[in-house]
Amino acid sequence: MNGKLIVFEGVEGCGKTTQMQLCFQWLESLNISVVLTREPGGTELGKDLRGLLLSKSANKSISEITEILLYAADRAQHIEEELKPNLAMGKYILCDRYTDSTIAYQGYGRGLDMSLINNLNQIATGGLTSDITIWLDVDVEVGLWRKRGQALDRIEQETMDFHRRVQWGYTELAVSYPSRIVRVDGSASQEVVQQNIQNILQKRLF
Ligand code: Z5A
């Protein structure tokens, strides 16, 4: 596989969508073939799974095991249908969330067993890891404040303690995988954040 898998991670409202769009434009301006995608929801099946997982009102009773299995199913389909073929074509993939989200949300947030999570991630990905993961680090309060006024989805409606555990998960992941995960201060202006990301990608991937 000759392409590159570039993943964006972080708590709600950290700026992933904004920064991925800017990266997309920048990479296209360099004549690099680039694809934008996300988890959950990067395939037709995944869109249905995303609806089930994040629905604001229904499915509140979804069990924690059901939840993680649905994320794993979304990922397995995404990899076969979207990631592997595009990487094989040499494309750069900008992916909104990947395996670290499962560790941060279902592991640190929900407290599910880490060996179960690692096993499921391995089964779903077949060992495909990102070439680089950009972790946009913002305080939980900042991220949620940025999304004020918007209807909150099922996970966003969780307690502040839940979101703080997720944030702690990202902090520990960045320490554990320093060659794969790069922390970027997401509280800076959009322009500064983007410049920092471009500098990192230029240094690490080109
Ligand atoms: N999830 C899980 O639990 N387990 C898994 O394995 C996976 C996922 C894969 C997916 O949501 C949900 O699924 C997620 C985890 C769970 N939890 N929730 N909810 P998502 O990733 O699609 O949505 P999100 O995490 O809530 O992100 P978001 O709402 O799309 O936000 P964002 O993409 O990070 O931020 P944004 O849309 O670019 O920016 C938010 C606002 O801030 C917007 O008004 C911007 O204009 C503004 N903004 C952006 N950057 C800045 C800066 N630098 N300064 C000031 N304002 C800014």
Atom of ligand 1 minimally distant from the CA of 98: 9
Q: Quick one: pLDDT at residue 137?
A: 98
Nearest CA, atom 57, ligand 1: 15
For the cut 80, the answer to whether the pLDDT of residue 78 exceeds it is: yes
18 Cα to the center of ligand 1, angstroms: 9
pTM of the predicted model over 0.75 = yes
pLDDT of 9-52, one tens digit each? 999 999 999 999 999 999 999 999 999 999 999 999 999 999 99
56 Cα to the center of ligand 1, angstroms: 15
- Asked if residue 206 lies in contact with residue 156, where contact means CB atoms within 8 angstroms, the answer is no
As a whole number, mean pLDDT of residues 90-105 equals 98
Q: Quick one: pLDDT at residue 59?
A: 54
pLDDT band at 157 (very low <50, low <70, confident <90, very high): confident
Q: Quick one: pLDDT at residue 153?
A: 84
As a whole number, mean pLDDT of residues 139-158 equals 89
Which SS3 state, helix, strand or coil, does residue 148 take? coil
